[in-house]
Structure 1
Amino acid sequence: MNNWVEACAAGDIEQEDLVRFDHGGRTFAIYRSPDDDYFATDGLCTHEQVHLEDGLVMDDIIECPMHNGRFNYKTGEALRSPACVNLKTYPVRVEGGMVLINLG
């Protein structure tokens, strides 16, 4: 089944940053690593459902802008309280300069 969805242009994301992507009533975060790889997670912190789009990205870590919980955006692993539930991650690919995520 084809569940790949265009999220944004690859050039829309700076290295060590993220963009918010809303689709089907859900929010996602699309990241660009320092190595120019792309990743995707749910876009809301698992602690209090705060949007991660204003969070700080450092290497492969996203820090929630509200209570400073941290996650590894490559694996979704919660790394620092108050976040204790992992983020869901999604497969990503880049085609024709566009970032696609698989929502299936």
Structure 2
Amino acid sequence: MAFQRAAAVADFRDGAALSVTLDGVDVALAREAGEYYAIKDECSHAMVALSEGDVENCAIECWAHGATFDLRTGEPNCPPATEPVATFPVQVDGDDVLVDVTRTLNGVTP
């Protein structure tokens, strides 16, 4: 696995996502109930940045059309999105949040 530092724990705010680029992959990072998640930062419906949307109930909302995606699985929760987005492994090492963009948790190509 190729985990790399994506952000500091202190960078996270509840209800919001962070946008980072790791090895050319745009990633939205979020924290919900003390868990950290990494999901491709692109809505599968509108091709806009998911990191600009709200995070709530372990989902991230696309600000353009209101589709939401499960942070754990990348699956869309409601229309208009019908295709999942890639999710990536995350681990916390001290004050750092690490992400591995070389593989996905859900098998979706980033």
For normalisation by structure 1, the TM-score amounts to 0.91
Q: Which amino acid aligns with 2:14?
A: Q
Counterpart position of 1:38 = 36
1:74 shift after superposition: 1.4
Q: Which amino acid aligns with 1:4?
A: F
Counterpart position of 2:16 = 17
For 2:22 and 2:98, how far apart are their aligned partners in 1? Answer: 12
1:36 shift after superposition: 1.1
Percent identity between the two aligned chains:
30
For 2:13 and 2:54, how far apart are their aligned partners in 1? Answer: 13
User: Residues 13 and 31 of structure 2 are in contact (CA less than 8 Å); yes or no, is this contact kept in structure 1?
Assistant: yes
For 1:16 and 1:72, how far apart are their aligned partners in 2? Answer: 14
Counterpart position of 1:26 = 25
Counterpart position of 2:52 = 54
Query: How many residue pairs were aligned?
Result: 102
CA RMSD of aligned residues (A): 1.1
For 2:47 and 2:25, how far apart are their aligned partners in 1? Answer: 12
User: Residues 16 and 59 of structure 1 are in contact (CA less than 8 Å); yes or no, is this contact kept in structure 2?
Assistant: no
For normalisation by structure 2, the TM-score amounts to 0.87
Question: Comparing both structures, which one devotes a greater share of its residues to strand?
Answer: 1
1:53 shift after superposition: 1.4
User: Residues 19 and 31 of structure 1 are in contact (CA less than 8 Å); yes or no, is this contact kept in structure 2?
Assistant: yes
1:17 shift after superposition: 2.2
Runs of 5+ unmatched residues, structure 1: none
Runs of 5+ unmatched residues, structure 2: 103-110
Q: What is the SS of the residue equivalent to 1:79?
A: coil
1:15 shift after superposition: 2.1
